[in-house]
Structure 1
Amino acid sequence: METSAVRDAAARLLLAYDKGEPTAPVIESFPEATVADAYRIQQEQVRTWVERGDVIKGHKVGLASKAMQQQMGVDQPDYGHLLAGMFHLEHQPISTASFLQPRVEPEIGFVLGERLRGPGVTVADAIRAVDFVVPALEIVASRITDWKISIVDTIADNASSGGVVLGSKPTALSDVDLRLVGCTLQIGGDLVATGAGAAVLGSPVNSLVWLANTVGPLGVDLEPGHVILPGSMTRAYPVQAGDTAFADMGPLGTVTAIFTP
């Protein structure tokens, strides 16, 4: 894609954010767009948000589980940026008006204590860099009408990022095997899904390694203090005003998100 087309696509998505109205799929308007072009579109939006005063606070890996890939009709993970304005406090009201077509996903959030710089990051490097993990709920949202997304669309739309709620119980990696961590997800008091850490690329740690080695060649480091969401342990489930989403991750603790009009 020409630079002008990248900027045009980014502007359309930014307008959807600003007006609260979804837009047509990027791939329909720009059928020549590749995955590489989609990341350029994403970066263009991130630059705009930073220029407006927001701050990058981490990254997310999307579509890391088979359940999510099947739900979205794609065959590979992607990544997006987490900015300060996306973080919400647990148990505090979250306005659904802030999101388009919101859904929730239970994830194990990494908080880094050391910088990770790919390529060449190993599992050992990743484990050493993690300060602690916390239970998390990611709020995914789509600026694409009716979630009719291709891999190009979701990447361009910052990996369908919306918001993040972190639990308040930190756990050292040495105290838990993330592959074996089970999860139950309730919405409105109803059990909607169960999952396990192994659903995320075999282990959420593998997802962290994939991310560091994918963004490293692009000149992006994962910084100390950054939050990394490695991917959902279940499918994504819609939420609306009045819903409470609650995820129980056993030894990692629980996390709650309360949605209001």
Structure 2
Amino acid sequence: MSKEVKELASYLIEAEKNQKPIQPLTELRSDLTLDEAYKVQLQVVEEKLSQGVKIVGKKIGLTSRDMQIMYGIDTPDCGHLFENMVVENNHEVSFKDVIQPKIEAEIAFVLKKDLKGPNVTVEDVLQATDHVLPSIEIIDSRIEDWNVKLQDTVADNASSGLYVLGDKPVPVFEVNLPDINMKVYQNGKLMREGVGKNAMEQPAACVAWLANKLAEFDVTLKAGEVILSGALATTIDVTPGDEFTAVFEHLGEVKVKFTE
């Protein structure tokens, strides 16, 4: 692992610990490549594992065309989910525990079999999935003012923060994932609408992409892991006092409230 990768990882770790965002890594190192950015992410993951924090899943970001256009890119990204990111459905999140949160609503997969690329297909994903759930992902950034390029968000664990899952598992073969409609309400007001196919035409295709991408770094999606498959609509900014409800056709709803 290069010294520079370790240094960039340490900046992100400090930013998270102190809850103080830092300047973009792409300003610190203008020639930072996407591959190096993933190595920075994996270095941060190694540090967390060494402190005894467990990985409970993975996430795919930037899967919708709207989000890709927003960031001027044409590829998804991915990150790791840790046990200390879990928020129970209908619970509260204190603004003391986040830096500059936004929320997205997406379909979560829970695996019953390992998945490792390359060459993982949508059918492989469906066969390896135990059930799906509605989810709200609370994305966050250790980079000041969300001033991120793709390399910044990748290094920063795909701008992961926290996540909330619904509590009624639905077998994956009981629903047609691309056709699932979703609505997001902020303080009771409808703010976003989306449909499953907004995530790469098929949310399971996002999971297949993830398995194949992570194979480049010898990382496996493991049985029991939660996979957040990507937002079905654009993000919503969060302020203290906000309450969000995401309602998914056939999957139910998931809620979270933010306090001071």
Letter matched to residue 74 of structure 1: I
Query: Does 2:227 correspond to 1:242?
Result: no
CA distance in 2, matches of 1:205, 1:255: 20
Question: What are the equivalent positions in structure 2 for 1:23-172 lying under 5 Å apart?
Answer: 23-172=22-171
Letter matched to residue 189 of structure 2: D
Residue in 1 aligned with 2:210? 211
Residue in 1 aligned with 2:187? 188
The Cα shift of 1:208 comes to 0.7
Letter matched to residue 135 of structure 2: A
Q: Deviations over 1:128-185 (max 9, x none)?
A: 0000000000000011111110000000000000001000011111111010000000
Question: What are the equivalent positions in structure 2 for 1:243-258 lying under 5 Å apart?
Answer: 243-258=242-257
Letter matched to residue 129 of structure 2: V
CA distance in 1, matches of 2:172, 2:130: 8
TM-score with structure 1 setting the length: 0.97
CA distance in 1, matches of 2:242, 2:117: 39
- Percentage of matched positions with identical amino acids: 37
CA distance in 2, matches of 1:94, 1:100: 12
Residue in 1 aligned with 2:228? 229
SS, match of residue 218 in structure 1: coil
Residue in 2 aligned with 1:198? 197
CA distance in 1, matches of 2:217, 2:6: 19
The Cα shift of 1:95 comes to 1.2
Q: Deviations over 1:70-124 (max 9, x none)?
A: 2223221000000000011011221122111100000000000111111121221
Letter matched to residue 136 of structure 1: S
SS, match of residue 251 in structure 1: coil
CA distance in 1, matches of 2:153, 2:183: 26
The Cα shift of 1:68 comes to 1.2
The Cα shift of 1:217 comes to 3.1
Q: After TM superposition, which residue ranges in structure 1, 4 or more long, deviate above 4 angstroms?
A: none
- Root-mean-square deviation (CA, aligned residues, Å) is 1.0
CA distance in 2, matches of 1:36, 1:230: 21
Query: Does 2:19 correspond to 1:20?
Result: yes
SS, match of residue 216 in structure 2: helix
Letter matched to residue 190 of structure 1: K
How many residues align? The count is 260
Q: Deviations over 1:45-88 (max 9, x none)?
A: 11111111210011000000011112223221000000000011
CA distance in 1, matches of 2:192, 2:230: 15
CA distance in 2, matches of 1:92, 1:193: 21
The Cα shift of 1:125 comes to 1.0
CA distance in 1, matches of 2:228, 2:254: 14
Letter matched to residue 24 of structure 2: P
Unpaired stretches in structure 2, ≥5 consecutive residues: none
Residue in 2 aligned with 1:11? 10
CA distance in 2, matches of 1:4, 1:246: 44
